[in-house]
A and B are shown apart, each in its own frame.
Chain A
């Protein structure tokens, strides 16, 4: 059994006293590429945000490699939903990627040549180097998503959390992104993705968590991605044929 990268214990999160996540226990082993699936309002984004300390849970705890998130920030990178920011903000693609280096700099210290070099390398990896000086509102949806991915890459983390990275991107960007995610897993990183498209789960991911306010199931895709769990999660009689 490999090491546990992320451990969630008895996590309960509520908005205005209405539970969005109910008593979640979850262990994510190191080195998996995991999808979190579930219907709208299942608490997928909430789970990620709670693990990252962006939302305060009303009960439970989270540990990253055995320690609280506060102590392990450097090991974690986060890609929020593309729609969560204002793309009219006056800044360039390169500058957004540079923001990924702010965490390792800490308060007050400014990014310098080293950070700029890392940001340019990350832009190169996502195929966006020629857009480095482009104002971010002038980028297409897919390009914006790649910029976000580059910003996470620049953090050089051990664990990557991504909130719907495939939302509103074209097919070629989707392939580019999944190839980068697979490369990350190959490099021994743990990648956790909130995902919507059930059809692509077996092709893209090796680990999956079914979530609908409660955790339904978690484990290897080949063992647990089946009609039974899908029906339990989505509440309707779900039929997918994943075995070709």
Chain B
């Protein structure tokens, strides 16, 4: 690996981490689309900032552009507050307007600088190592590495310092307000961090990938855990993995780095979406199937409990009487036998003691809907897991 390759992967990974952190909270606050709005509408901020500073890497430009991001949020909220349009419509109105102002400004005034619409949309990660930071004549690395590194450091510090406040105001705005943690301050704090991160990552990965880096890792992590800290760690992990994998895919395919990273992010999400242990599609389908069988089992057990007559408990009769297909009858019978709930003698089915106790308990639960009684059953049966 050349040092340029390492630098590109390092920048991509740092950007991924810096995006995943605010992204996690945006996803939990159901504000994913706001990151899309910010990523587009900071463009006029970058262009105007560039006219003022004449330097694409100036911290002042980053602040200026981030400020445009905040304006976006304020405008969206203002339009929404009038109750004339809904939030998604307000977002759809604000960011294309601001973005197009940026596009016009570039076309009219910035033809001669390294700022064109392609770069804005997709970034130029491959060129990042060429723009070096020189201090006292010494080369200390690519400028973008320093920029995104500083942004990550600020984000991490804020996250660790205000983790508690972020958590409570994200989960329960009303409680946060009544406890004296102003939800507005935390909201705009998060929006500021998101904006600064977006601007910092913009040059490296472009307006479209920034959104993917913010939302995809967090959405993927959300499917895997029920713990906020783990969700953050997983989101960061998915971000880094996709950044590095994406780089090498781009290398092998000789394609855009930004595009490859986004593709990997999408694939990682797809895999987790399908195979996540409890929230994944396959797990959900399996659970639904199990629940269907268990409902059948319960119906069957109840039938046995209600009937003493031998003819009602004959295997053949059960098939016809309960009106199930053979396969279903067999799987229910197998499940009941596996759990020692029934025994079959001369084709006559009877409840065992365990089966009898289970049936009473389950019926009791279904009638009273009291949870405490069935805690021990939840481990064995999906049906009772709510």
Q: Which A residues have a C-beta under 8 Å from some C-beta of B?
A: 16, 49, 52-54, 70, 73, 76, 78, 80, 84-86, 89-92, 96, 99, 102-103, 105-108, 110-111, 130, 135, 137-138, 140, 142-143, 151, 170, 172
Contacts and interface: CB of A to CB of B under 8 A. Distances in A.
Nearest to A138: B386
A91 B172 contact: no
B263 interface: no
Given A89-B28, A99-B172, A138-B386, A52 B177 contact: yes
Nearest to B162: A108
Interface stretch (B47-55, B178-186, B192-200, B206-214): B178-186
B306 interface: no
Nearest to A103: B179
12 contacts: A76-B178, A78-B178, A89-B171, A90-B28, A91-B167, A96-B171, A99-B175, A102-B179, A103-B178, A103-B179, A138-B386, A170-B370
A91 B371 CA distance: 21
Given A16-B83, A52-B178, A103-B179, A108 B226 contact: no
A67 to B, nearest CB: 14
Given A80-B175, A90-B228, A143 B165 contact: no
Nearest to B30: A86
A125 to B, nearest CB: 16
A89 B231 CA distance: 11
B174 A54 contact: yes
A96 B172 CA distance: 10
Contacts of A143: 371
Interface size class on chain B is 20 to 34
Contacts of A52: 177-178
B164 A130 contact: no
A108 B162 CA distance: 6
Contacts, number: 86
Contacts of A99: 167-168, 171-172, 175
Given A92-B226, A135-B226, A110 B174 contact: no
A232 to B, nearest CB: 30
B386 A108 contact: no
Given A54-B178, A90-B225, A140-B371, A102 B164 contact: yes
B375 interface: yes
A49 B174 CA distance: 8
Interface in B210-252: 222, 225-228, 230-231
Interface in B318-369: 369
B172 A90 contact: no
Nearest to B81: A16
B161 interface: yes
A200 to B, nearest CB: 20
B385 interface: yes
Nearest to A163: B174
Find the residue from A90, A92, A135 having the highest chain B CB count within 10 A: A90
B171 A86 contact: yes
Contact of B177 (A54, A85, A96, A110): A54
B172 A85 contact: yes
A135 B385 CA distance: 12
B57 interface: no
A52 B177 CA distance: 8
B308 to A, nearest CB: 34
Contacts of A103: 178-180
B296 interface: no
B179 A92 contact: no
Contacts of B225: 90
A78 B172 CA distance: 11
Contacts of B168: 99, 102
Nearest to B28: A89
Nearest to A136: B226
B370 A172 contact: yes
A52 B170 CA distance: 19
